[in-house]
């Protein structure tokens, strides 16, 4: 049994070590070899994550109020709840994992913005993907889905271009953001069933 445990430990160490190397190598290719002319563009994209994620439910809810459309207001609340769920889960995971920013451990990485929190998962990415996923679920039309996920993916890429996140941070951020939408929907469905039973 001890031999088996040692083999498993050795295997995981090799796999995780290689994964970490791939993570760093990919980030170096993206950040160090970047087209510096695109730096302002990616800064703008990265800075759009939170404002767009807040504005989306606010605008949809406002239109719903004006048009007296309760379904539209419901969709806006769902998008807003997904954003908050994503932010909460991301904050907790950052504090639990406590991964340092890539430029701290690898000085050759050139950070183009200063970040105060931990690295994993990427908060900007989780926020963008929560908004893109919830908006796409609320309005499942190609002209909503495609631009939403192009924007969310651009936000994720911008975090690596700017040197503030590893690719794995971005990947986990996208999963957290998208998953938080499904958690929010399931919770809403459960609350609706419970409320209807009481009625």
Q: Which two tokens stand for residue 199?
A: 């009625």
Q: pTM above the 0.75 mark?
A: yes
pLDDT at res. 11: 42
- The parent domain of residue 141 ranges over 2-198
pLDDT of residue 46: 95
Those residues whose C-beta lies under 8 Å from the C-beta of residue 58, and which sit 6 or more positions away, are: 76, 80
CATH number of the domain that residue 136 is part of: 1.20.144.10
The pLDDT assigned to 188 comes to: 81
Which residues of the chain are modeled with pLDDT < 70? 1-20, 196-199
Name the nearest CA neighbour of 101 among 16, 162, 22.
162
What's the number of domains the chain is made of? 1
What do you get for the CA distance between the two ends of the chain, in Å?
Answer: 57
| Residue 174 token pair | 């996208």
């Amino acid at each position: 049994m001890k031999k088996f445990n040692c083999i498993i430990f050795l295997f995981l160490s090799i796999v995780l070590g290689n994964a970490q190397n791939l993570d760093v190598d990919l980030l170096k290719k993206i950040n160090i070899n970047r087209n510096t002319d695109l730096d302002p563009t990616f800064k703008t994209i990265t800075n759009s994550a939170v404002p767009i994620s807040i504005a989306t439910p606010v605008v949809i809810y406002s239109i719903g109020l004006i048009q007296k459309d309760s379904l539209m207001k419901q969709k806006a609340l769902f998008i807003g709840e997904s954003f908050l769920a994503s932010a909460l889960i991301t904050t907790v995971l950052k504090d639990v994992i406590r991964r340092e920013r890539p430029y701290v451990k690898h000085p050759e990485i050139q950070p183009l913005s200063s970040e105060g929190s931990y690295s994993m998962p990427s908060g900007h990415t989780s926020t963008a993907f929560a908004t893109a996923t919830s908006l796409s679920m609320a309005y499942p039309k190609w002209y909503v889905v495609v631009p939403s996920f192009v924007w969310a993916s651009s936000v994720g890429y911008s975090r690596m271009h700017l040197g503030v996140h590893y690719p794995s941070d971005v990947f986990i951020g996208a999963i957290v953001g998208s998953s938080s939408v499904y958690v929010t929907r399931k919770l809403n469905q459960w609350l609706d069933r419970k409320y209807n039973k009481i009625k």
